[in-house]
Amino acid sequence: MDSAEYERRIAARFANFDQDRNGYIAREDFGTAAKALLAEFGTPARSDKGQSLYIGAEALWQGMAGIADVDGDQRVSRDEFVTGAVKRLRDNPERFAEIARPFLRGAIAVADEDGQGATAEAAERALRALGVAPEAAATAAKALLDGNGRIATEDRVLAAFAAYFTTPEPEE
């Protein structure tokens, strides 16, 4: 990967988190993400699934702020994201799993409409609701299927999520 491609990827990852597109990752972005996901599946915010998702979204924000909000202004700038989040998550993927697990668990539960595990179609809808481009969402959803045609275990989803965000560094 050359550095232009690396820059493009980082920008895309940042945009995934900056849901309201104001140039910063902040608590509101995680609330926006949770709300969009619940709306897509018609899940009430006050339901158990809704509450779990919001709690997971808050935990993800707190974790992100803890590793990346260096100046403590309660928002993560693009610079902080690149130097803080991306690098530190790459150095410590387990930490990332810990931070992201409650949100992902909540999201998987919301997308699991019949209690048998989320279908690829549901996973694709979930990713699109979170702002992932349609083609990337379809590819990611298919990659996460297990032998039963349902979305695989939480650990595999977490691993895929971590892999997506722990972008390799550009080759010189």
The token pair at 94 is 């387990």
What are φ and ψ of residue 91, in 5° steps? Answer: -70, -25
Q: Which of 1, 5, 22, 168 binds Ca ion (CB under 5 A)?
A: 22
Minimum separation from the CB atom of position 65 to Ca ion (A) = 8
- Asked whether position 71 contacts Ca ion by CB under 5 A, the answer is yes
- Asked whether position 29 contacts Ca ion by CB under 5 A, the answer is yes
Q: Of 131 and 170, which has the nearer Cβ to Ca ion? A: 131
Minimum separation from the CB atom of position 31 to Ca ion (A) = 10
The residues pairing with 76 across neighbouring beta strands, listed in sequence order, are 25
Of 22-30, 47-55, 145-153, 155-163, which part binds Ca ion (CB under 5 A)? 22-30
Minimum separation from the CB atom of position 152 to Ca ion (A) = 30
- Asked whether position 73 contacts Ca ion by CB under 5 A, the answer is yes
Q: State which amino acid sits at residue 57.
A: A
Binding to Ca ion (CB under 5 A) within 95-154 occurs at none
Q: Of 22 and 47, which has the nearer Cβ to Ca ion? A: 22
8 A C-beta contact, residue 25 and residue 76 = yes
* DSSP type of residue 169: P
Q: State which amino acid sits at residue 151.
A: I
Tokens 């902080």 correspond to 80
Total number of residues that touch Ca ion (CB under 5 A): 8
Minimum separation from the CB atom of position 16 to Ca ion (A) = 11
Task: Give the integer Cα–Cα distance in Å for 78 and 95.
Answer: 21
Task: Give the integer Cα–Cα distance in Å for 161 and 97.
Answer: 9
User: In sequence order, which residues have a C-beta less than 8 Å from that of residue 158 and are 6 or more positions away?
Assistant: 97, 100, 101, 104
8 A C-beta contact, residue 44 and residue 38 = yes
Minimum separation from the CB atom of position 99 to Ca ion (A) = 17
Of 27-35, 51-59, 92-100, 141-149, which part binds Ca ion (CB under 5 A)? 27-35
Q: Where do contacts with Ca ion occur on this chain (CB under 5 A)? A: 18, 20, 22, 24, 29, 69, 71, 73
